[in-house]
Amino acid sequence: EAGVAQSPRYKIIEKRQSVAFWCNPISGHATLYWYQQILGQGPKLLIQFQNNGVVDDSQLPKDRFSAERLKGVDSTLKIQPAKLEDSAVYLCASSLVSGGYNYGYTFGSGTRLTVV
């Protein structure tokens, strides 16, 4: 089974620039998540999609972050403009939810963003 694919692996940008990350989940996983992991902390949920609809974006800084999953498969996360504090690893995950139970996530290898 192919895993969750993410690109790019690394990105260095200057503050106030924009950046986009891409994610392709495991085939058949309707639920897709974007997490932000700052060094030394656990992953923090940014947004959750169920198919192409947003389920939870309460922790997404909407003034600068946006995400979409237009066809209910792959997804993009964008930051515009970036700030220094956005330096983190951006993790995409997908999961199988069946019978009211979440069987756990599979994460992609993440995109390490450095804002200078």
Partner 1 sequence: RKEVEQDPGPFNVPEGATVAFNCTYSNSASQSFFWYRQDCRKEPKLLMSVYSSGNEDGRFTAQLNRASQYISLLIRDSKLSDSATYLCVVNKDSNSGYALNFGKGTSLLVTP
Of 10-29, which residues contact partner 1 (CB under 8 A)? none
Q: Given the complex with partner 1, which of 57 and 68 has the nearer CB atom?
A: 57
Of the candidates 20, 19, 22, the one whose C-alpha atom is nearest the C-alpha of residue 5 is 22
64-77 burial, b for 16+ CB within 10 Å, e for fewer?
Answer: ebbbebeeeeebeb
The residue assigned the tokens 């690893």 is 89
Q: Given the complex with partner 1, which of 56 and 85 has the nearer CB atom?
A: 56
Which of the stretches 14-22, 33-41, 65-73, 77-85 binds partner 1 when contact is defined by CB under 8 A? 33-41
Residue type for position 66: S
Other CB atoms within 10 Å distance of the CB of residue 61: 14
> What is the bridge-based pairing of β-strands 111-115 and 88-98?
antiparallel
Contact with partner 1 (CB under 8 A) among 25, 33, 75, 94: 33
Contact with partner 1 (CB under 8 A) among 56, 83, 84, 85: 56
Give the shortest CB-49-to-partner 1 separation in angstroms: 9
Residues that bind partner 1 (CB under 8 A): 31, 33, 35, 40-45, 48, 50, 55-56, 91, 95, 97, 101-110
